[in-house]
Every structure is written in structure tokens, then in C-alpha cells.
Structure 1
Amino acid sequence: MKKIFSAFLLLTFVLFFSQEKKPMFWQDIQNFKTLDQQNPPVKGAILLVGSSSFTKWTDVANYFPNKTIINRGFGGSRLTDLNYFANDLLNYQPKQIIIYCGENDFADNDKLKAEVVVDRFKEFYKKIRAKFPKTEVDYISIKYSPSREKLWPQMKIANEKIAAFMKKEKNAEFIDITKVMQDANGNVRKDLFVGDMLHMTPEGYKLWTSVMNPYMK
């Protein structure tokens, strides 16, 4: 009886710590795998990878009716998460990869310097190139969410540095959505955001679409 009880305790202990060790967003990745099993993604689609601005774009296919989109945005993710789950996120055969990520890196640590975020992006870009040396890779600039105004200066530097990096790369583009989200005076349009002043309204996504369209394969 004691042996059975001891075995039960050991099993409970193992299960508890195996669950504890699961990284953040592990379940999101498992959900993607389930979706892929239920509906295997086609070859040659456009892969969206990144954070909640993609996650909440649930009707993205309606904005690009002539394109095949695989949306693999998971809310709250940082570039560190994209690097951690790179093998899972890049387990497709896309003709183009579009990234929106980096905003949450700054939100996670308001003392974070732009150079750190840029290095995280370069690390992810390197992982993409290791698997897809000639595939088109585009990066959407970090948007200036009103709720994160104090982070804008470092975000601006990150945008500039990533833009400069992408300009030197082949089959790579920096898609700047910051200007289209400004009013005539150069101020960020708050009406493009929902109540949390972080996520966007359909009008915001409509403007993104207008900028992204020329870059879409």
C-alpha cells in the first residue's frame, strides 16, 4: 500500500512540474498545430507571424480576398517568443512571411533599449533565412499605441534601425504603417483604436491594408 501511495505521489509530482515548465504561449502553439491537422495549410500562402495586432485580425482574409493567408499571431507575444517557437511558427511552406512583433517587448520592460529589440528581430530573421533563404520577408513597423506613449521614443529608434537593416537585405521590406495612422498634424489618430488604446478598429486595419497591399505577393 505504501509503495502504491509513494508511486502516486511521484506521479503527481512529475505531472505538476511538467505542467509548470510549459513556457508562456505553449497552448497557443498547440492550438496552431491542431488547426493545421484539421485543415492542412496550402503551400505558397502568405504567413503572418506576430502579436495581438495579428491575433485580433480574425477576418484578415476579407481584407485580402485574392490572397491565401495563414495567420499565426498570438496575443501578447514578444520577439523572444517568436525566437523560442521559431521551429513551430516556420513549419510551413510560405511564399512570403510578414512579421508584426516588438511592441510587447517594450511593454514588458519599459527600460528596454531599442538595440535589444533590434537584436531580437535580427535573431528571428536569421532563423527564417536559415530555412527560407530566398522567401520574401517583410516587417511591419511598430505602431504607436496611445496607451504606450512613454515607449514611443525607443520604438521609433527600433523602427529606424530595423528599416535600415531590411533595406540592405534581399527579398526583404520594411512596411511603415506609422504615417497612415497619423492625422494632418502628424498626431496618432486615437479613433483608430478601441477602448484600450492598444488594439485597432476595423478602420485601422483598413489603413494597414492600404499600405500592405503593394508588398503582398
Structure 2
Amino acid sequence: MLTVAVLISGGGSNLRALLEAAADPGFPARVIVVGADRPADGLAHAEAYGIPSFSVPFREFATREEWGDELAAQLRAWRPDLVVLSGLMRLLPAAVVDAWSPRIINTHPAYLPEFPGAHGVRDALAAGATETGASVIVVDSGVDTGPILAQERVAVLPGDDEATLHDRIKPVERRLLIDVVRRIATGELDLAAPAPTAHPTVTEG
């Protein structure tokens, strides 16, 4: 059984979807702890499912490195097989990434390498793109530059704004994340040598 730690910053919609999937006895992974870098609403999902949680508030540390050291210590205490970033709005210090990669993954609301960074949906609209997407990647020392584990296109519809487009991307992100975690757990996907897995279907709504 693959054990998973999930790190969040906000509402935790991806976390909720993963917890729902993991509640199925046939799902080959279990979330064992949820961590946050601030008082995050998504911690309520952990409580609802009886999952332990911890908080390492970024603002309580003098430097990002000190914050990262404490975060790493919390993760080491739980010894998860996999770390999932679920809307963690904070770049991890190199020491944390080095300690866990390639066993640390993230979702991104764009078809990488298109539109990396914190505003992937906004940037796609600003570029006049007719389609964007969702990706699941291994976290490395760059910004959304790690190996791609899965991705799928999502159409940009006439009249879309950042909110409506993001609302259509989010379910694709959740589905891809759950599938990637399942494939890692079953050994179908080897993080030591990840291969890009593109899904050519374009989701319109």
C-alpha cells in the first residue's frame, strides 16, 4: 500500500478528491497525513476523513530555508512513500526537493511546458490560446520544469475568463492526479524513470 503525504495552502479540492478515491478499499494508496503552510481551509477535509494533519506556517520562520527544514522534519516523521503538492502556493527550498524528488509530485493548470508558473490559467488567456490543459509532474528544482507524468488538453471556450476556465481544468487535474497516484502505487509508473503520458482528448466542458 502506497502511503501519501499531501501538502496544501488553500481549500484542498484536489486533496478532497484524492481522499475520496483512497476511501475505496480497492484503491492502492492511502493518505496518511496532510500538511499546510498556513491556516488552510482544506485541513477540514483531513479532519473529515480522520487523517492527521500538521501546519508549518511560513510566516513564523525567518527564512524559507528554515521553514523548509521544519517541513522536511515533519515529513520525515511520517515517512510517506510519496509527497503530493495539492495547491501548495510556496516554492519548496532545494533541500526539501532534493530529499524527496522524484517521490514528490504536483499538478499544474496548463499543458506544460506551456504556461508554467503561478498564473498558468491567466497566462493562457492573455496569450489568446485556443486550448490549454492540465499536467501532473515530478517536482524538481525549477518552476514547473520536472518530468511530465500525465497531461490532457482542455479547450478555451469563447467568453472564458480565468474563473470559468479554471473551473473546467480542475476536474481534469483531479482525475489525472488520482490516476497517477494509482499507477505509482501499482508499479505501472516508475518515478525513477518517468515517461511522458499525454492524453490527446480535448475537454470542452
Same-fold call, TM cutoff 0.5: no
More helix by share: 1
**TM-score scaled by length of structure 1:** 0.42
**TM-score scaled by length of structure 2:** 0.44
Greater Rg by CA? 1
More strand by share: 2
